[in-house]
Amino acid sequence: MFLNNFKIISKINKNRRHKKFICIFLILFLLLLLVIVLNACNSKKNSKYFYFDKYETFVYNNIKETLLKSKCSIMWNNQREFMNGIIRKFKPKKLLELGVMFGGSSIIILNAIRDIKNSHLYSIDIDNSPIVGSCVKQNFSYLADKWTLFKGNIAAKYMKYIGKNIDLAFVDTSHFEPGEILDFLLILPFLKEEAIIIFHDIDHQITKTKGKGMRYYWAPYIIFNLIRGKKFYPSGTGVLNKDIGAIKLEKNQKRFIHDYCRALGGHWEYFLSEEHISIIKSFFKKYYDDECLIILNEAISFNKDFVKNNRKKPFYSRFFKKNNGTDIKLKNKRLR
Ligand X SMILES: C[S@@+](CC[C@H](N)C(=O)[O-])C[C@H]1O[C@@H](n2cnc3c(N)ncnc32)[C@H](O)[C@@H]1O
Smallest gap from residue 177 Cβ to ligand X (A): 12
| Residue of 85, 92, 104, 133 interacting with ligand X (CB under 6 A) | 104
Asked if 86 and 246 count as a contact pair (C-beta separation under 8 A), the reply is yes
Backbone angles phi, psi at 210, to 5 degrees: 50, 40
Does 203 engage in binding with ligand X (CB under 6 A)? Answer: no
Does 75 engage in binding with ligand X (CB under 6 A)? Answer: yes
Nearer to ligand X, 126 or 249 (CB): 126
DSSP state of 235: S
Does 123 engage in binding with ligand X (CB under 6 A)? Answer: no
Nearer to ligand X, 35 or 81 (CB): 81
Does 99 engage in binding with ligand X (CB under 6 A)? Answer: yes
User: One symbol per residue from 304 to 333: x for binding ligand X (CB under 6 A), - otherwise; what is it?
Assistant: ------------x-----------------
Helix then strand then coil, % of the chain, to nearest 5? 55, 15, 30
**Cα distances (angstroms) measured from residue 334 to each of 3, 34, 140, 148:** 99, 53, 18, 25
Nearer to ligand X, 137 or 250 (CB): 137
Does 59 engage in binding with ligand X (CB under 6 A)? Answer: no
Smallest gap from residue 73 Cβ to ligand X (A): 5
Nearer to ligand X, 86 or 155 (CB): 155
Does 183 engage in binding with ligand X (CB under 6 A)? Answer: yes
Does 127 engage in binding with ligand X (CB under 6 A)? Answer: yes
Does 177 engage in binding with ligand X (CB under 6 A)? Answer: no
Q: Provide the residue count of the chain.
A: 336
Nearer to ligand X, 53 or 125 (CB): 125
Consecutive H or E run containing 149: strand 147-151
Name the region of 264 (left: φ>0; alpha: ψ -120 to 50; beta: rest).
Answer: alpha
Does 173 engage in binding with ligand X (CB under 6 A)? Answer: yes
Options 17-25, 123-131, 210-218, 233-241: segment touching ligand X (CB under 6 A): 123-131
> 85, exposed or middle or buried, with CB in 10 Å at 0-12, 13-18, 19+?
buried
Options 30-38, 119-127, 213-221, 278-286: segment touching ligand X (CB under 6 A): 119-127
Give the integer Cα–Cα distance in Å for 315 and 336.
Answer: 14
Nearer to ligand X, 37 or 333 (CB): 333
| Residue of 63, 124, 168, 247 interacting with ligand X (CB under 6 A) | 124
Does 74 engage in binding with ligand X (CB under 6 A)? Answer: yes
Options 113-121, 170-178, 189-197, 285-293: segment touching ligand X (CB under 6 A): 170-178
**Cα distances (angstroms) measured from residue 247 to each of 60, 194, 198, 318, 328:** 21, 9, 6, 29, 34
Q: State the helix-helix crossing angle for 179-187 and 219-226, rounded to 10 degrees.
A: 50
User: One symbol per residue from 241 to 280: x for binding ligand X (CB under 6 A), - otherwise; what is it?
Assistant: ----------------------------------------
Options 69-77, 220-228, 282-290, 324-332: segment touching ligand X (CB under 6 A): 69-77
Give the integer Cα–Cα distance in Å for 298 and 213.
Answer: 29
Asked if 74 and 336 count as a contact pair (C-beta separation under 8 A), the reply is yes
End-to-end CA distance of the chain: 96
Smallest gap from residue 79 Cβ to ligand X (A): 8
Give the integer Cα–Cα distance in Å for 69 and 213.
Answer: 28
Does 219 engage in binding with ligand X (CB under 6 A)? Answer: no
Instruction: Name beta bridge partners: 231.
Output: 247
Instruction: Name beta bridge partners: 151.
Output: 125
Q: Which residues bind to ligand X, rule: CB under 6 A?
A: 73-75, 98-102, 104-105, 124-127, 154-155, 172-174, 183, 316
